[in-house]
């Protein structure tokens, strides 16, 4: 967005099914990382009964999958990816080194897929009901930042995942990606205040 010769900013907002699905699996598998990110609403976290070693291996494989899911171009797999049965095209894991994670997630395919579809559809309907609201929220924060610093905003890119998390807030989940609670995203004043530091950091 922006005119010819002017700095460009590109903000993509979504409630991506692959991200929702990964977080659902994180919760039902009892995975802690990323530690700072709250749980999804309405899904009871699993009581972990694995050995410390088994849990550590599962968490390491999940972190690699999470990084590839959130920012696939920044985290390419060193080996070919393979789709996992039951997850349509939404889960692709490295063909080597992800066997523990693959075995752990397969029993949850149906419920994880249903959850991600439902949450994504809810976001899509909310967005469609308020056309232009998304753009205005970011444009307003950028304009305010430009007023404060007395210059045009630098070009930047930002991905925003709007998620049904248990706590209101904004969290960095990648180098160019933030997660924001759906409740906060729907509160114009609070979201404006929350997004401003993010814009200031990038622009």
Average pLDDT over residues 38-55: 89
Contact in structure between 167 and 150 (CB atoms under 8 Å):
no
pLDDT given at position 3: 46
Same domain for 104 and 152, yes or no, is: no
How many domains does the chain fold into?
2
Contact in structure between 37 and 173 (CB atoms under 8 Å):
yes
**What confidence tier does 102 reach under pLDDT thresholds 50, 70, 90?**
very high
Helix H or strand E segment including 168: none
104-127, pLDDT tens digit by residue?
999 999 999 999 999 999 999 988
The pLDDT of residue 1 is above 60 = no
Same domain for 88 and 145, yes or no, is: no
Domain boundary among 81, 116, 151: 116
Average pLDDT over residues 2-22: 82
pLDDT given at position 132: 67
Same domain for 166 and 188, yes or no, is: yes
Contact in structure between 112 and 25 (CB atoms under 8 Å):
yes
* Burial group, residue 142, by CB count within 10 angstroms (0-12, 13-18, 19+): buried
- Average pLDDT over the chain reads 90
Same domain for 112 and 22, yes or no, is: yes
Domain hosting residue 89, numbered range: 17-116
Same domain for 89 and 61, yes or no, is: yes
């Amino acid at each position: 967005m922006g005119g010819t010769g002017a700095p460009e900013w590109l903000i993509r907002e979504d409630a991506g099914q692959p991200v929702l699905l990964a977080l659902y699996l994180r919760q039902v598998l009892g995975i802690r990382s990323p530690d700072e990110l709250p749980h999804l609403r309405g899904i009871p976290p699993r009581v972990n009964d694995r050995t410390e070693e088994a849990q550590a291996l599962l968490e390491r494989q999940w972190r690699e999958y999470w990084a590839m899911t959130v920012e696939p171009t920044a985290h390419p797999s060193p080996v070919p990816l393979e789709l996992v049965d039951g997850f349509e095209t939404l889960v692709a894991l490295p063909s080597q080194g992800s066997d523990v994670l693959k075995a752990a997630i397969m029993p949850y395919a149906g419920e994880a897929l249903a959850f991600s579809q439902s949450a994504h559809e809810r976001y899509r309907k909310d967005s469609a009901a308020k056309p232009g609201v998304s753009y205005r929220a970011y444009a307003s924060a950028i304009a305010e930042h430009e007023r404060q610093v007395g210059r045009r905003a630098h070009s930047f890119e930002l991905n925003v995942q709007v998620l049904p998390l248990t706590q209101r807030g904004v969290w960095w989940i990648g180098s160019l990606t933030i997660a924001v609670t759906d409740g906060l995203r729907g509160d114009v004043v609070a979201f404006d205040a929350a997004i401003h530091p993010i814009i200031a950091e990038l622009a």
